[in-house]
A and B are shown apart, each in its own frame.
Chain A
């Protein structure tokens, strides 16, 4: 079982949190802080597994994470999950994001947290791995997005126009920061 999925940036700012077990909001923030503290001090060339998150689970649980450019993707899993499998799953998830957002970067996650959630929902459900085939995930996400579009989306056209105007008033529009080498080679893991 996966107990939690956390995405935060190099400064520990949460970009997506998904707990599969209930924690109150302040506890969630504490967990994020602790996890960030544990993960951020590790070099990039050490292993991706980590024990000792004291807030979630206990000895049976491990943190498995990957670091892409400015973002950490952390999965907290128990011993029923294969460590290398989860690493691969993170890769699949990130590659899916890359496909859905076309060259994903941190800003995509910041402004479209809901969409990232919808993608994640097709990968992991209730703490269990739902689908590992990227094409299948992308296909399902696409169909649902098309449905949304056909319904006119959340904000209909006029609202969007207004929001465009509002955009222009912004002192600075953050520039895209590319995650860069998203296709990090997964060593010695044949694609599932």
Chain B
């Protein structure tokens, strides 16, 4: 045995480690694969050994091989083994390997759940950290569900290192297990105000990521983020927040208005380009959302454009790129402001950097006008010649087409020019966009009737020179153009000068090398051309030409009949037979042209792209209904399908009803036009109503001249579009002159009418008229087309599941699944009640309900009566206090308390937002004078409270909770004041209702209100109540929160309040630095009448095993209208042992270990006559004494808490008939004794 071990360790010495492996691979450059495969064999051997170090080493090497592209999933189980090693070194290797190669399909992942949970609760923070990091990469829905609660607990870990990781990973958990979002959200929100900047940044990160996908659910956080934005100095956080605001503003224009000013300030003040850029971006988003109605928004736009210009002009290419990127966003809404920087953008087109050129191209889209389109496109064509890479050239090509075809060819004045541009583009080598050019050709030829003659001539030429396009098989993309050319020539063959020649061109043997679908079009259109030729020859006495044509077809078509492509073959053989028949008739001297032409009679109109989709489903037609009864069912309902068809038929016949008179028709036409005008998807005829110019003399003959000019185009390969630029120039000049003439002559009235129409058509800045009759045929749409355009959201988008209303109160069963060791009685135990799956469906149903409720609330608000208010306030108080408790306790306790809590919180928040956003002047009262109103001072926190002692805030991790509480209090006060004058937004009206609602849903009766604040001292002027909490971060400190309430009857102010305590040896008040040991601490606020506020004081303590009392004095000045007096109030601060306890979660296994360890001393206490339900009892202990429930079985529960100095306190609470026995264990007997006494007192009181 021993020998074996020795042998093992010697073997180990010669194992390769990672470095050896890498070195080996580098030394075997020629046969790397072979070397690696031997290495993998070695690794497999190593993995078979028992020694965990060897395994870890092997796994480490596998991680490296994975990077090189080797699949290492076969070692997944070994990786799990290494992960579960107790040594940090190995654990880290295991988790790294897992994070690199585990994914949802890895089946061993389900074995890791318990290991990960153990690591998460490890006392070593780095074990926890490693587990979190690893988990973030391979979390699955199952892991997320099982571990959500553990991770949530870690969000309140004492170490910021863990907190920030736990916060970040929550995002991944939400994605995989959306049900966890709502229960975890309150805590996540709390982390926004975490004292550690890293944690804060992580929370911002997560919420921004969530809000980006479903912004509307996060609107209520806007005030909080606003506060962070104005207070934070961390650029990372600022950038994230500003980006978030960019996503929120489209939903809430008021928010935008509020943002403009601080953002503009930031733009002016910041030196960080990244921040500046994001600010500009968000300002742009704001301006887009506002669209209009901002008095000074042109100034903001100017500022943005200016700053962007600076970026673009910068020598740093990155800034240039970003500047152009942002510019393109402005372009969409404020094209004018961008257009003034045309020079700069055109300059960027020549940049050496392709990314920048592409961005500049994007901008070009908005730069064009009727005036400069030709010029810009000419420039782009030049670039096209120079462009080296195909990607950039393709991009140029699509951009040219985009620019020209945008808004229904709005900027094209001369379609001949455009057609020639398209023809020129066909000379592009190796483009992928042949089909794009083809579809443009088709589109223009079909929709612009006047251009058909010219287009057909050009297309005929293309067909003639088809070899140019197809000569090289590599240029396959471009031959798509022939598809369009063949179709156009065939369909509009009446415009062809020499159809016979084109016919010949289309029947060349080389055509057979084209792709099948193009050949098919060729064959079909050959037939059309044939018809045209026949008709052309009709009147001619000499039949030879017609007969020769037939013969030509009969000779050439067999080539296509043999085609491998079915479509081609079928069409060719059909047409071949037809031609043969025609030939027979021709020989009998029968006139056939008429009949053959009839085959292709009628015009094809363009159909709008989504026309089919938009045919409305006729009323009464159920598309999901069976047409035929499913076979198994009875035949009695056989009638149904018939009815379906009958109804369908009815519809189309109605419009064609013969009895409709002319007037009715006209009216309908008008109505349809109206509808079309309102339908954004209906492509309208160009507003410039070109028909007007049809009769204008001097315009009509120009195209004729140009067509003549285009004769030289027959020489292929010569650029031709250029000439149009010159011609267009001349034409415009001529037109101008003519118009002048016309004006002088002041012709007939209808001219005026026309002019009028042209204006109303929005002919805009230039009086450039299109060169010729351009009748853009509208695309056809079905009658009653549905205007809606369903956005097809990807149903598999994981973020969709996170679209959850977060303002809605949490309900009883909505909480994270807690691991249960023994199956608990679900009904009786609120602690472990709702397991994940059961909850799954819940939120959606409720959100609907909730919405309705909200509406109800709104209407109720108006009728709000005073009594109701009182009740509500009560409810609110009830609500807020348990909330404090529940936030502290990890999920376990939460459920019971939260059931009563949330309504107040959420409604308050919603109205908060409204209040925060409303720009209406706030009625001034003294309280609000003290609280800066954000409208006035933008950088003050919107729902801010007077500053608190800095030291207290720094040390106190839970400050946010207190703040919330206080805010509510303040609001209450405000409400009280305004009750008579104002019906404020605060939806108090709903509170009573929703509280009741909560009760209905709850199975167990709700908890009575609880508060830890107890009276400290009171006199006619002031009332002080206080609460003491242990400081999580510092084991020697406690924080005393004191609420001061001004009770004085008349309108007297309390000011210059000074708080002093006589320090004992054991406990000392922490005074500001430099203060003497007996100096009083000044309270940094004043109290207007009827107002309360909270201040926090930090005390350092040495021993915590005994309760203590400290005497103190509060000195203050009472200032009424005419007099001011000095007053004093003495008090005694009672530091109970409870106040040194910190709610700390504990797992039952850790708990059991603790009890077994034997270090703990036991003690017990009995409480008689306790009549409250068991869960209330537990809630009380949790709330008042800072315990957490470890496990609960029926009427027995184990609880745990920890003191600030790390003493463990364990309780076993049992209840039998009004008698509660508490067995307790603690490593510090006197502390335990005191805590038990305090618990006893708590229950004696009630």
Contacts and interface: CB of A to CB of B under 8 A. Distances in A.
Nearest to A89: B236
A80 B801 CA distance: 19
Interface in B859-903: none
B307 to A, nearest CB: 13
A82 B352 contact: no
A167 B19 CA distance: 10
10 contacts: A25-B69, A47-B318, A52-B391, A80-B212, A118-B92, A126-B133, A126-B169, A155-B17, A187-B318, A190-B271
Given A14-B68, A49-B318, A126-B172, A144 B92 contact: yes
A46 B317 contact: yes
Contact of B64 (A87, A113, A154, A174): A113
A68 to B, nearest CB: 16
Contacts of B234: 192
B355 A144 contact: no
Contacts of A188: 272-273, 314, 316, 319
B1065 to A, nearest CB: 37
B274 A128 contact: no
Interface string B1-30: 000000001001111011110110011000
Contacts of A82: 239, 243, 274, 277-278
B391 A47 contact: no
From B133, B172, B274, B321, name the one whose CB has the most chain A CB atoms within 10 angstroms. Answer: B274
A156 B209 CA distance: 44
Interface string B405-423: 0000000000000000000
Given A129-B205, A130-B202, A154-B93, A192 B69 contact: no
B69 A28 contact: yes
Contacts of B356: 46-47
Contacts of B272: 188-190
B785 interface: no
A190 B18 contact: no
Nearest to B63: A114
A14 B126 contact: no
Interface string A161-172: 011001100110
A144 B91 CA distance: 12
Nearest to B319: A188
A64 B208 CA distance: 21
Given A126-B169, A128-B209, A154-B93, A144 B88 contact: yes
A155 B202 CA distance: 36
B568 to A, nearest CB: 34
B67 A114 contact: no
B273 A84 contact: yes
Contacts of B235: 85, 190, 192
B915 interface: no
Interface string B51-72: 0010011001001101111110
A59 interface: no
Contacts of B53: 154-156
A158 B64 CA distance: 23
- Give the most central of A17, A170, A171, A188: most B CB within 10 Å: A188
B96 interface: yes
Interface in B987-1009: none
Interface stretch (A97-105, A132-140, A175-183): A132-140
Interface in B300-340: 314, 316-322
A45 B66 contact: no
B104 A22 contact: yes
B89 A148 contact: yes
Contacts of A133: 198
Interface in B218-264: 234-236, 239, 243
A169 to B, nearest CB: 10
Given A46-B355, A110-B22, A126 B136 contact: yes
Interface string B140-178: 000000000000000000000100110011011000000
Nearest to A158: B13
Nearest to B126: A144
Contact of B60 (A24, A52, A114, A187): A114
Contacts of A22: 103-104
Nearest to B124: A147
Interface of B: 9, 12-15, 17-20, 22-23, 26-27, 53, 56-57, 60, 63-64, 66-71, 87-90, 92-93, 96, 100, 103-104, 126, 129, 132-133, 136-137, 161, 164-165, 168-169, 171-172, 198, 201-202, 205-206, 208-209, 212, 234-236, 239, 243, 271-274, 277-278, 314, 316-322, 352-356, 358, 391
A174 B136 CA distance: 36
Interface of A: 1, 14, 16-18, 20, 22, 24-26, 28-29, 43, 45-52, 80, 82-85, 87-88, 110-114, 117-118, 121, 125-133, 136, 140, 143-144, 147-148, 151-156, 158-159, 162-163, 166-167, 170-171, 174, 187-190, 192
Interface centre among A25, A80, A125, A130 (most CB of B within 10 A): A125
Output the residue of B20, B169, B208 with the most chain A CB within 10 A.
B20
Given A46-B353, A154-B57, A16 B92 contact: no
Contacts of B236: 85, 129, 132, 192
A92 B100 CA distance: 23
B89 A20 contact: no
Contacts, number: 188
B603 to A, nearest CB: 39
Contacts of B129: 140
Contacts of A18: 100
A48 B318 contact: yes
Q: Which of B165, B271, B355 gathers the greatest number of chain A CB atoms within 10 Å?
A: B355
B91 to A, nearest CB: 10
Contacts of A190: 235, 271-272
A112 B13 CA distance: 20
Contacts of B133: 121, 125-126
A170 B165 contact: no
A151 B67 contact: no
Contact of B22 (A45, A80, A111, A128): A111
A159 B26 contact: no
A121 B168 CA distance: 13
Nearest to B73: A25
B136 A159 contact: no
B137 A163 contact: no
A100 B209 CA distance: 31
Contacts of B19: 111, 163
Contacts of A14: 67-68
Contact of B274 (A16, A85, A118, A171): A85
Contacts of A162: 13-14
Contacts of A51: 355, 358
A140 to B, nearest CB: 6
B416 to A, nearest CB: 35
A174 B19 CA distance: 12
A154 B20 CA distance: 13
B205 A128 contact: yes
Nearest to A139: B161
Nearest to A15: B67
A16 B99 CA distance: 13
Contact of A84 (B27, B63, B208, B277): B277
A50 B354 CA distance: 9
Q: Which of B90, B234, B318 has most chain A Cβ within 10 Å?
A: B318
Nearest to A117: B96
A189 B88 CA distance: 38
Nearest to A22: B103
A127 B168 CA distance: 9
A80 B353 contact: no
Of the candidates B18, B60, B64, B89, the one having the most CB atoms from chain A within 10 angstroms of its own CB is B89
Given A111-B19, A187-B316, A85 B239 contact: yes
Nearest 8 A/B pairs, CB to CB: A126-B136, A84-B274, A47-B317, A22-B103, A46-B353, A29-B69, A190-B272, A47-B321
B171 A148 contact: no
Contact of B169 (A16, A83, A125): A125
